[in-house]
Chain A
Amino acid sequence: MTQIKYVKTPLSEDVVMELKAGEHVLLTGTIYTARDAAHKKLVELIERKEPLPIPLKGQIIYYVGPTPAPPRRPIGAAGPTTSSRLDPYTPKLLSAGLKGMIGKGKRGKEVIEAIKKYKAIYFVTIGGAGALLSKCVLKSKVVAYPELGPEAIYELEVKDFPLFVANDTKGNDLYEIGRKQYEIKD
C-alpha cells in the first residue's frame, strides 16, 4: 500500500494535480450524492443555464443511494454505485466546475478525457462495503429532489472516507495499470 494522503473538500486545483492513480486517500469535508435521476436533472439545468440546487465548483459528487437511516444513525449503508451509468452526464458537470467524483468501476473514454481536460479526479471506494463506509458519514441531509427517495441529492459530512485514485489529471487509469501488473497470459 502506498502512503495515505489526507484530503479536504472543497478541492483546489493544486491538490487535484498532485493526486496520482493508485494513491490511497482519506477524505474529510462536505460532499454531495447524486445518481442517475439527479444527474439528469442537473444536466438539464446546466443546459438551460438555470441555477443549480448544489454548488459544483471544487465539489465532489458521490454516486450513492443509501439505505434509510435507522434510529440514532445519520445514514444507512452507503457504498458506491456503478459509475459508468453516469458517464453520459459527467463531462457536462465537469465543464460546470465539478472537481471530483466517487464511485466504483471503470469510466469510459470520454469521461477519462474530460477528467484530464478539466483537471478533475475520479476516486473509487470499496464497492459492497456499505456498512463500513456509513461509519465515515457524520451527518446527512437531503438538499434537493426529496421526491427521488434514495436517489435524492444528500449533503454528507464525511470524515476519513477511504478512497483510491482511479483516474488522475494525467490520464492514468488504475483499472488499466492494476490489471497489467497481475495478468497471466496463456
Chain B
Amino acid sequence: MREINVTELVETIKKLCIESCIGLNEDVCGFIKRAMEKEESPLGREILKQLLKNEKIAREEHIPICQDTGMVTVFLEVGQDVHLTGGDIREAIQEGVRRGYKEGFLRKSVCDPLSRKNTGDNTPAIIHFEIVPGDKLKITVMPKGAGSENMSRATVFPPAAGIEGIEDFVFKTVEKAAVNTCSPLIVGVGIGGGLDKAASLAKEALLRPLGQKAADPTLAELEERWLNKINNFGFGPLGLGGRVTCLAVHIATYPCHIASLPVAVNIQCHAHRLKEVII
C-alpha cells in the first residue's frame, strides 16, 4: 500500500489552479493556430491572432488569460493501492484552491446559489473521485467560466428520438452558444447513463486532448460529421461570422435504460483551461 499524505496535495492543487489560468495547453494553442489557416473571414482571422497574442501575454506576464477564472472542478483518480493519510482529502483540495485563488490574484466567482453571497475564496471546488487500479494519484484541475457553462444543456429523450433527436439537441445548443460563449468552441457530448451520468460524461469528454478521436469508430465518425456541420453554420470566431465555430467535438457514451435516452452537451470556450499531474 502506497501512502500519500494529503497535505502534500495542497501546494499541487494551488499550482495547478494558477498555471491553468495563465496558460493554455499546447493542443489548444495548436488548434487555434490551425484554425487561423482555415478561417476565411478577415475579422475571424484577426480575432484568432489576438487570442494567441493574449495567451502569450498571459504566460509571460503571469496574468489570467480570461478574467472569469471560473469555478474549479477537480477530477481525482485514486489508485486502489493508495492510502491517503494526514487528514481529510476534501479539505486539502479546498485549501489548495483557496491558496491558488488568493496567491494567484484570480477572481473569486463562487457564491451561494440562493442568497448569491460570494464565499470569498472561490471554494468550494466541485470534486469528482474515481477509484482506479494501481498506486498512482491523478489530479486534473479545470477552472471553467460561466459564459460557457451557462450555455450547456442536459435532457432525457425517449428512445424514439434516436440519433436525429440527439443531433438536433446538440446543434440547437451549439447555435445558442456560438453567439454568446467565446467561440471557437469545444463541444463535449455525453450520451447514456442517467441524467447525472450524461452530464458527467459531457464534461469529462472535454478532458480528452484535442486531436484525439473517440476510440469507438462509430463515435469518431459522428464527431467528425458534427464538427463539419457546426462549422458550416457560419458563426465563426466570437460568433461574428466565419468558418471556424468549433475546434472539436468529443463524444462519450454509457449504456442506459431500455426506456430512456439521456443526452448532455457541455460547451467549452476557446480558453480551455486544464492542467493535470500524476503523483
Contacts and interface: CB of A to CB of B under 8 A. Distances in A.
A183 to B, nearest CB: 3
A69 interface: yes
B238 A127 contact: yes
A78 interface: yes
B40 A175 contact: no
A77 interface: yes
Contact of A126 (B61, B69, B181, B238): B238
B182 A104 contact: yes
Nearest to B150: A82
A124 B105 CA distance: 26
Interface string B27-58: 00000000000001111001100110111011
Nearest to B231: A184
Chain A: interface size category: 35 or more
B76 interface: no
Contact of A132 (B57, B69, B179, B242): B57
B234 interface: yes
Contact of A79 (B61, B62, B67): B67
Contact of B180 (A69, A78, A106): A106
Nearest to A133: B54
Secondary structure at the B interface, as helix, strand, loop or mixed, is: loop
Nearest to A64: B67
A106 B239 contact: yes
Given A76-B107, A127-B269, A67 B64 contact: yes
Chain B: interface size category: 35 or more
Interface string A139-182: 00000000001100000000000101010000000110111111
Contact of B64 (A81, A126, A130, A183): A130
Contact of B242 (A73, A76, A133, A178): A178
Contacts of A150: 67, 107-109
B51 A128 contact: yes
A76 B58 CA distance: 10
Interface in A49-69: 64-69
A124 B241 CA distance: 13
A45 interface: no
Interface in B137-176: 146-147, 150
A67 B109 CA distance: 10
Given A1-B46, A130-B66, A131-B54, A66 B240 contact: no
Interface in A72-101: 73, 76-79, 81-82, 84
B81 interface: no
A124 B238 contact: yes
Contacts of B240: 124, 164, 166, 174-175, 178
B232 A183 contact: yes
Contact of B63 (A65, A134, A162): A134
Contacts of B107: 65-68, 76-77, 150
Given A67-B107, A184-B232, 8 more contacts: A66-B67, A66-B107, A67-B64, A67-B67, A76-B107, A127-B269, A174-B240, A180-B241
Interface of A: 1, 22, 37, 64-70, 73, 76-79, 81-82, 84, 104-106, 124, 126-135, 149-150, 162, 164, 166, 174-175, 177-186
9 contacts: A67-B107, A76-B67, A82-B147, A105-B179, A131-B55, A166-B240, A182-B243, A183-B232, A184-B232
Interface of B: 22, 40-43, 46-47, 50-51, 53-55, 57-58, 61-69, 105-109, 116, 118, 146-147, 150, 179-182, 232-236, 238-243, 269-271
